[in-house]
A = this chain, B = another copy of it.
Amino acid sequence: MGNILVLFQSNTGNTAKMAELVAEGAGRVPDIELRLKSIKEADVEDLKWCDGIALGAPTNFGTVPWEMKKWWDDLVDKNIWPYMDGKIGCSFSSAGAIGGGQELNCMTLNVILMNFGFLVFGITDYTGPGISAHYGAVQQGEPRSDGEKEACARLGQRLAEWVSTYIDQNTASHPLKQNYKRLPDEFKQRKS
């Protein structure tokens, strides 16, 4: 059984909706135990417990909101760093605008995880025409289209696949061995 924590902060509900979709996607993989918790609900025991984490927060002024950062900074006194090495992580974020810093925020969330010794990833998949989550799932407002919703879910699914493959040693869970479409038929990559 792989343990996955979806840990999020949400101010207006948009990132919370992303978190639910991420958790839903993680639930697609067998033998995964899930916790979906806001930073108000989660504590250091949840972090120790998990094998993989999906970390989500709104983008405020281009980066991580203070509440989420405080959650991590407060761990200094818990004497757990650097004993969390080898967990697997990814990130997601909603902002008020496309171009509002979601990718930058996701990468900074990834940096926090890397600092704790996590291995971090994004997804190669396109979950709709012109929609991906290469460095984390990014969203303007709340997820609306099927492709946007699936970007969140696929991120959670991928996290569960990596946890199952690498931590639970179920090599059959590797995403390259699955039959679902990672690049949909209607996908025509727009090159820029």
Contact residues of A with B, CB < 8 Å?
10-12, 14-15, 58-67, 69-70, 72-73, 76, 81-83, 85-86, 88, 93-104, 107-108, 111-112, 114-126, 130-142, 151, 162, 165-167, 169, 174-176, 182-183, 189-192
Give the Cβ gap from A123 to chain B, nearest Cβ, in Å: 8
New A-B contacts (12) at CB < 8 Å, excluding given A14-B191, A99-B102, A104-B135: A12-B191, A61-B72, A62-B115, A63-B69, A85-B175, A86-B175, A86-B176, A96-B132, A99-B133, A104-B104, A114-B122, A115-B135
Report if A174-B100 is in contact (Cβ < 8 Å); known contacts: A69-B69, A130-B141, A192-B139.
no
Q: Interface residues of A: mostly helix, strand, loop or mixed?
A: mixed
Contacts of A85 in B (CB 8 A): 124, 175-176
22 contacts across the A-B interface (CB closer than 8 A) = A11-B191, A12-B192, A60-B76, A61-B112, A62-B114, A69-B69, A83-B176, A86-B162, A94-B192, A95-B192, A96-B189, A96-B192, A99-B132, A99-B133, A99-B137, A104-B135, A108-B108, A116-B124, A119-B120, A130-B140, A130-B141, A141-B192
User: Contact: B82 with A119, CB < 8 Å?
Assistant: no
A61 to B192, CA, bound (A): 12
User: Contact: B124 with A121, CB < 8 Å?
Assistant: no
Of A10, A93, A125, A134, most buried by chain B (CB within 10 Å of CB) is A134
A64 to B48, CA, bound (A): 23
Report if A190-B140 is in contact (Cβ < 8 Å); known contacts: A97-B134, A98-B131, A176-B86.
yes
Give the Cβ gap from A143 to chain B, nearest Cβ, in Å: 11
Chain B residue at minimum C-beta to C-beta distance from A18: B192
User: Contact: B73 with A65, CB < 8 Å?
Assistant: yes
Out of B76, B83, B140, B162, name the residue touching A119 (CB < 8 Å): B162
